[in-house]
Structure 1
Amino acid sequence: MDKGFNCASLRKIVRNAGLTTGAFYKYYPNKEALFADLVEEHADYIYSIYDNVLKNFEALPASEQPENMKDTSQGAISEMLAYIYAHYDNFKLLICKSEGTPFACFIHNLVEKEVAATDRFIVLMKENGIDVPDIDPELNHMLASGMFSGIFEIVVHDMEETEAIKKVKKLKDFYTAGWENLMGIKF
């Protein structure tokens, strides 16, 4: 936690844990595997929350999706926040200390899921006669990146949970209003 993945010495980790290097290798083949053991299940859980909410949302008829967008999104974010705070140290590692690991792409992976979902939503709306504008792919990526990076600022800045919940709700309200403005529909 102090040094981050790149700067943490395996020798020092092992010493602080009261183990020998040989004993460490009985549990993990390398430092990367240790890091993955600390964060992977938690990253996957957040991905699964997002994927499940998205699957349920996309199963709604096109005519019902806009009116369910805000509540669906807020519900997913609330579930994510509860999980993050129940496993805070793991998320501190994942968000702030993962440089040099495949997990450094965690937020970017969520952004890519959001961009793809937004593209599918736009296509579905158009196919169902709802006039929404095309959103430039780069702008779509910028907006999704800003939203997810903003959400995870709660971890970067060690926000207390009740304050984080309030601030993230305002952030979501901000993004909802922006998307309503861009798309010309009410969520």
Structure 2
Amino acid sequence: MSLPDRRIDPKILKSAEEEFMEKGFADASLREICKKAGVTTGAMYKRYPGKEALFEAVVGPTLQDIEEMALNIERYDYEQLAHGKMQSVWDMSSTTLKTIVRFSYERYDGFKLLLCRSEGSTHANFLHDFVSHHAKQTVKFLEAVTQQDDRDSQIDEEEIHMLLTAFWSTLFEPIVHDLPLEKALRHCEYVAKLFNWQAIFGF
């Protein structure tokens, strides 16, 4: 049995990314994607059973990087808790924010697709899902802080969710509005002044 020609995979993914970026998930055409990639629809379906699977393949690397970043941050937070360095956990200085913005701009196309071109896909509520996960992890972390420091946190998950929605929305706005990296980094200066997480969580 002959092995499938994997050389056409990058062509399909590149064509798909361009089509999704131009038209969004809902209006993207698989036939047009195959045409631009120079492959048959049969060859595409052997690799990706449908438009959803193809979109997932395009944004998958970005989602994987986001998950890895979140795990690294979570690991760092618990390490800081163990050493009693809580101030650094909630540090949202412009330097910290610029690190996040650079991370997102290094994966600009993936974030653009997830934030602005995913309507109709399983990632249509990307920001809400991202914030919901982050809010749950924050509540879990605050419970660990309460147990260690014997402090009572007055803020609940619903309030955390609303605040995090505002925070991440404004941090992602430069991508939504197609701002150059230089302007996005300058935007961090204002965001850092707007959100004082140490004060919100009482550290």
TM-score range, shorter chain: 0.7 to 0.9
Higher mean displacement: 125-134 or 8-17: 125-134
Identity among equivalent positions (%) equals: 34
- Structure 2 partner of 1:98: 118
Unaligned runs of 5+ in 1: none
Equivalent in the alignment of 1:184: 202
Post-superposition shift, 1:12? 2.2
Q: Report the TM-score when normalising by structure 2.
A: 0.76
Give the secondary-structure state (helix, strand or coil) at the position aligned to 2:39: coil
Q: What amino acid is aligned across from residue 184 of structure 1 in structure 2?
A: G
Using a 3 Å threshold, how does the CA distance of structure 1 residues 153 and 72 change in structure 2: closer, same or farther?
closer
Shift of 1:135: 0.7
Residue among 168, 171, 179 paired with 2:191: 171
Q: Distance in 2 between matches of 1:134 and 1:40?
A: 37
* Structure 2 residue matching 1:3: 3-state secondary structure: helix
Q: Following TM superposition, by how much is the alpha carbon of 1:124 offset from its aligned partner in structure 2, in angstroms?
A: 3.1
Structure 2 unaligned blocks of 5 or more: 1-20
2:6 maps to none
Q: Which amino acid aligns with 2:198?
A: E
Range with greater deviation from structure 2 (66-75 or 85-94): 66-75
* Counterpart secondary structure, 2:140: helix
Matched, 1:108 2:96: no
Deviation (angstroms), 1:56? 1.8
Q: Output the CA distance in 2 between the equivalents of 1:39 and 1:143.
A: 26
CA RMSD of aligned residues (A): 2.6
Q: Which residue of structure 2 lines up, in the alignment, with residue 46 of structure 1?
A: 66
**Which protein is bigger by CA-based radius of gyration?**
2
After TM superposition, the score normalised by the length of structure 1 is 0.82
Query: How many residue pairs align between the two structures?
Result: 183
| Alignment partners' CA distance in 1, 2:50 and 2:62 | 20
Partner in structure 2 of residue 34 of structure 1: 54
Shift of 1:156: 0.7
Instruction: Tell me which amino acid in the other structure corresponds to 1:108.
Output: H
Determine if contact 1:46/1:80 at 8 Å carries over to the other structure: no
1:81 is aligned, of 101, 113, 123, to 101
